[in-house]
A = this chain, B = another copy of it.
Amino acid sequence: MRGMIGVLGGMGPLATADFMGKVIALTPAERDQDHVPLIVHSVPQVPDRSASILEGTESPLPAMLQGLRRLLDTGAECIAVPCNSAHYWYDDLAGESTVPVLHIVDAVGGALARRGVGDGPVGLLATAGAVFGGIYQARLGKHGYECVVPEDRDQEDLVTHGIGLVKAGRLEDARAPLEAAADKLRQQGVRMVVLGCTEIPLVLNDGNNYLDSTEALAERCVEWYSDRVRRPE
């Protein structure tokens, strides 16, 4: 299928469904057939990304590579990974892929610029693995943004705790700790708070106050598909 995008998902599954919903909502469509063709590998039996980065537990890479190969075998022409922490292994995935792998941080950089957020400091709410693994800092720096991250204790007590509640389906309980972490970043003068974990936008969904990395990646997919179908074979 021309322009079919392979989605390496399941990390977590609810974030994957949310990502699909955002691709659909962002697509100008009047009927089913106008929508972006997706093949979605939502197989959550992948070792924990954050624990692997932080504690050296079992690597999720073999499971992710297996999913990637399944998607490539179906004829996917581009790959999106709606999980920020998984981008710690971006180079391994891109190296194995025969088609482009969209980078979620580049998608966030593009989305920040489109929303009129110029250069300067932006806050980052993400898993401890994504924060300490430096997934955002250097790559967002290339787009002209400096990342401000929570203090270690806030990361643990507010962000990691909140993400765990989302993964357990306790969305309402997750709101207060995640909002508190965002407020602390704003007190440091950031121009926008980036939700750099695809679980967090399930709870914090005010587009004026937050830049949702899931939505940014969905925007990038719609743009990629639109370019692809316009291009001659």
CB atoms of A45 and B39 under 8 A apart: no
Taken together, the copies of this chain in the complex come to 2
Query: A13-B20, A32-B10, A70-B74 known; A42 and B43 CB under 8 Å?
Result: no
Interface 0/1 of A25-36, CB less than 8 Å to B: 100011111111
Q: Of all chain B residues, which has the CB nearest A25?
A: B169
Interface 0/1 of A68-88, CB less than 8 Å to B: 001001110000000000000
The answer, yes or no, to whether A141 is at the interface (CB within 8 Å) is no
The answer, yes or no, to whether A24 is at the interface (CB within 8 Å) is yes
Q: How far is the CB of A44 from chain B (nearest CB, A)?
A: 4
The answer, yes or no, to whether A37 is at the interface (CB within 8 Å) is yes
Query: A29-B169, A74-B73 known; A12 and B40 CB under 8 Å?
Result: no
Q: Of all chain B residues, which has the CB nearest A39?
A: B41
The answer, yes or no, to whether A211 is at the interface (CB within 8 Å) is no
Interface size class on chain A is: 35 or more
CB atoms of A168 and B31 under 8 A apart: yes
Chain B residues within 8 Å of A32, by CB:
10-13, 44, 46, 48, 167
Q: Which of B13, B34, B74 meets A35, CB within 8 Å? A: B13
Chain B residues within 8 Å of A1, by CB:
43, 45
CB atoms of A17 and B10 under 8 A apart: no
Q: How far is the CB of A82 from chain B (nearest CB, A)?
A: 12
Query: A17-B21, A73-B74 known; A4 and B43 CB under 8 Å?
Result: yes
Contacts from A to B (Cβ < 8 Å): 1, 4, 10-14, 16-17, 20-21, 24-25, 29-46, 48, 70, 73-75, 167-169
A1-B43, A38-B42, A73-B73 given; 13 more Cβ-contact pairs under 8 Å: A10-B32, A10-B35, A13-B24, A14-B24, A17-B24, A31-B167, A31-B168, A32-B48, A33-B44, A35-B44, A38-B43, A39-B41, A70-B75
A-B contact pairs, 14 of them (CB 8 A): A1-B43, A1-B45, A10-B32, A10-B35, A11-B32, A13-B38, A14-B24, A29-B168, A31-B168, A33-B45, A37-B45, A38-B43, A39-B43, A74-B74
